[in-house]
Every structure is written in C-alpha cells, then in structure tokens.
C-alpha cells in the first residue's frame, strides 16, 4: 500500500505544473458563421491579444486592412487579433454572420480570427466585453475599439476607435507585450 502511494506521489509530482486559466479568457465564444465554439484560454493562452469590435459600414471599416497587417507582421511573435462584429453603434453591422465573413475576406483579406456577432454596449454587453471594461475602466464608445491583452491574460490597454492599427503608441504597446515571455503552463 505504501509503495502504491509513493508511486502515485511520484507520478503526481512529476507532472508539469499547469497555470490556471486567466479569468478574462475563461469562456467560450462561437467562431463567425459557424457552429464551432472555442475556449479562449485553450486556444489563446500565452498569446498577446488585440480584441476589436468591428463593423462593415463604418467610417473606421478600413481599419480591417491595418488590423490584418498587424496580425501578419506580429503573428509569428505571438500576437493574435480577435474580431468581434457588433451592430451596437447606429446599426453599422446589419448583415448576417456569413455576409460579414465574406465582406471581411473579399474586401480586406481578413485572416485573423473573427467571432460571433457580439453586443459590446452596456447593459447588454457580452460577458467578455464586460470583463474587458471592468479591467480597463473603458467601454467601447464606437466601432473598432481595441483592447490589448497580455500573455498572462490581463487587459493592459484600451485604445479608442480613432487609434489606427498603424498608431505608434499602439504598436509600441504591442511590441512591449510580445517581448515578454509567455507564462509557463
């Protein structure tokens, strides 16, 4: 019996320590125009995330091109752009998810992950956006609001709609976060 317990302890203590899922990323979201849902922690833990509420009929819609360039430029270093289409601001995302997906791919060549059409405004905001607002103290006031999430799953920045993906401060913030090592899992 003691041998069995000692053997079990040896197995347990030799297992790698698993970092807990950061609360901000501990939820499932559905991918755009599909039935598949992903657990943000399982898919993106250890990555730097730029979360953006998007819209296809907005004065800022051309930011899709800049977001795709950011994703392409920094993807290998650990950045993932996550797009969440939202119709919360003057109905500027009226299409179906399939229409949104086709528009993004055909017009802007978007390859970064896009998720279900999402409410971002209080009081009906999606839990993910509620958490982002709580952590940063800022809520989206319009389409293309950007939240930066560190490799350890904390919201570390909030950038308004007028901050373009090419903005020097945004790029410096992204570069600072991707330079940090990923937490051990």
Active site residues: 58
Planar angle of CA 121, 123, 129, nearest 5 degrees:
50
Residues 6+ apart with CB under 8 A from 166: 66, 69
Q: Hey, what long-range contacts does 55-58 have (CB within 8 A, 24 or more apart)?
A: 55/85, 55/86, 55/87, 55/89, 55/92, 55/93, 55/143, 55/144, 56/85, 56/92, 56/93, 56/95, 56/100, 56/103, 56/104, 57/92, 57/93, 57/94, 58/89, 58/92, 58/93, 58/142, 58/143, 58/144
């Amino acid at each position: 019996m003691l041998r069995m317990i000692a053997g079990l302890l040896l197995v347990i203590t030799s297992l790698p320590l698993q970092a807990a899922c950061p609360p901000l990323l501990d939820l499932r979201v559905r991918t755009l125009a599909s039935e598949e849902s992903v657990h943000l922690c399982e898919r993106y833990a250890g990555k730097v995330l730029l979360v953006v509420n998007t819209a296809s009929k907005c004065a800022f819609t051309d930011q899709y091109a800049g977001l795709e360039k950011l994703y392409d430029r920094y993807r290998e270093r650990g950045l993932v752009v996550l797009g969440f289409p939202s119709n919360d601001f003057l109905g500027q995302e009226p299409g179906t998810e399939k229409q949104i997906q086709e528009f993004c791919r055909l017009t802007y060549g978007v390859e970064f992950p896009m998720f279900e059409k999402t409410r971002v405004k209080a009081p009906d905001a999606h839990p993910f956006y509620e958490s982002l607002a709580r952590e940063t103290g800022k809520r989206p006031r319009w389409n293309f609001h950007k939240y930066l999430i560190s490799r350890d799953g904390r919201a570390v920045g909030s950038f308004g709609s007028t901050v373009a993906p090419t903005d020097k401060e945004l790029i410096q913030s992204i570069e600072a976060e991707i330079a940090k090592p990923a937490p051990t899992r």
